[in-house]
Amino acid sequence: MVYFDGPSEKKKSNHRCMSGFLRSVNLDDHVEFLDIPEEKEGLNLTGLIERYHRTWFDHSKRPPWQFIVVNGRQTLLVFDHYVTDGRGATFILDSLQEALNLPAQDETDSSIVQLTSEVKGFPEVDPVELLGKPFLFWAILNYLRFWFICLFYRGTGVFFHDANLLHTLIKVSLATDFYPEAKFSHSETVIDVRPYLPTQQRERTISTAVSMISSFDWLSRFREAGQSPEGEKTSIVNAELLWDLSQKHKAHITNDLKHEMSWLKAWLSILMVGEDEEDYISTLLPGYKLVQNNTFSVSNLGTFSSADLSSSGPWAISSMEFSAGAFKAGIGSNLTFNVMGVQNAATVIHVSHEGGSLPEEFVGALLERIEKRILAII
């Protein structure tokens, strides 16, 4: 799938982004094999991930994705969110594992792969057509440069299955340690809308299918949760209050998913934006800035185990992580948290921001405070 600019069909001198589907793909343009020192590989490819995060795809000539094989045992799937989202990428990697575990097949010397439409589910019914249009923030991710920091927790993957607790920990640490005078906060939780698609479309929807739920909170109780209860001097967290705030955030998310449905309204509201690029710039971005500026967002793909994966054989997925790009700091979230892990292995938190928008030491210090509070409550 490629996309390219063309003249608007409705407004003279305007531009429109159009999609195209190729009938063949040259894997030499997409697959790269790298050998790096083992000590760098042992650091979970941090530098390599940051390097490929700065990729600028020429999306008008070839599909905007790249697959990197590192030392023959680790893989990196880099893609524009125009192609899919984090959950869709896990389906792709699952399919790769399944293919690797198939019986040996005839080899071919050609790097050209012919594609066909004569397969079940192709072309895929776009979730845009099933349930409105997706939140377009994904469309601008590829054009930003940023830095990120990883935080590792081994053996505690199940702990981070609850995104509400992590979301609350972030807010507690920001309110207590970095913004002690702030009165009010705005944050966002990224949600996967696949469970709300028609049943036959849920399982393997690859197209981007995400939205967000906003949270608005007074910070006094969060600041209280970030301090030791009276009489205790060994802790930097009020665990009981922290859990209470986490449960309230969970109730807020559940209520929105089932009743208020602001996530659906946000997803469908994109229909009111014109179809031309100029409409996107003049209509969507100004409003987007009003609701996104000075926020952080959390996206948690959860904890995976080998039992969740469809194939069995010599190849298995022992670790998995993901990291999406940051927004332009003056328009979107200042901090983007992406969380993923595999059972009995590392759960990795990627934190990204636009380079120069926040001091590097600020993000590192924030992660340190979050880690200390995690250790204090477990």
Q: In 3D, which of 355, 369, 16, 108 has the Cα closest to residue 227?
A: 369
Domain boundaries, the chain: 2-377
Q: Is 323 helix (H, G, I), strand (E, B) or coil?
A: coil
Distance of CA 176 to the CA centre of its chain: 26
Handedness of CA 268, 274, 279, 280 (dihedral sign): positive
- The CA-based angle 66-70-73, given to 5 degrees, is 115
> Does residue 326 register a pLDDT over 70?
no
Handedness of CA 54, 88, 290, 173 (dihedral sign): negative
Label the pairing between strands 31-34 and 65-70. parallel
Q: Is 68 helix (H, G, I), strand (E, B) or coil?
A: strand
- Distance between CA atoms of residues 42 and 97, nearest Å: 22
Beta bridge partners of 187: 215, 296
- The CA-based angle 224-226-230, given to 5 degrees, is 60
Mean residue pLDDT of the chain comes to 75
State the DSSP code for 157: G
Q: Are 33 and 67 within 8 A, CB to CB?
A: no
Q: What are 225-262's pLDDT values in tens digits? A: 998 665 555 568 898 999 999 999 999 999 998 888 88
DSSP symbols for 23-48: SEEEGGGTEEEE---HHHHTTTTHHH
- Distance between CA atoms of residues 17 and 371, nearest Å: 43
Arithmetic mean of pLDDT, 3-24? 80
Q: What are 85-115's pLDDT values in tens digits? A: 888 888 888 888 888 888 776 777 788 888 7
Q: Is 334 helix (H, G, I), strand (E, B) or coil?
A: coil
**What's the Cα-to-Cα distance from 202 to each of 163, 218, 262, 344, rounded to whole Å?**
21, 36, 20, 28
Tokens 């054989």 sit on residue: 313
Could you tell me the two tokens for 181?
Answer: 């005078």
> Does residue 319 register a pLDDT over 50?
yes
CATH number 3.40.640.10 is the correct assignment for the domain at 2-377? no
Q: What are 161-171's pLDDT values in tens digits? A: 578 888 999 99
**What's the Cα-to-Cα distance from 68 to each of 74, 223, 299, rounded to whole Å?**
8, 43, 24
| pLDDT recorded at residue 54 | 74
Arithmetic mean of pLDDT, 314-320? 78
| pLDDT recorded at residue 192 | 85
Q: Are 15 and 4 within 8 A, CB to CB?
A: no
| pLDDT recorded at residue 137 | 29
> Does residue 220 register a pLDDT over 80?
yes
State the DSSP code for 57: -
pLDDT band at 148 (very low <50, low <70, confident <90, very high): very low
Arithmetic mean of pLDDT, 58-82? 83
Q: Are 127 and 193 within 8 A, CB to CB?
A: yes
- Distance between CA atoms of residues 337 and 354, nearest Å: 13
- Distance between CA atoms of residues 261 and 80, nearest Å: 27
Q: In 3D, which of 61, 1, 360 has the Cα closest to residue 207?
A: 1
Q: In 3D, which of 83, 69, 70 has the Cα closest to residue 25?
A: 83
Arithmetic mean of pLDDT, 198-225? 81
pLDDT band at 305 (very low <50, low <70, confident <90, very high): low
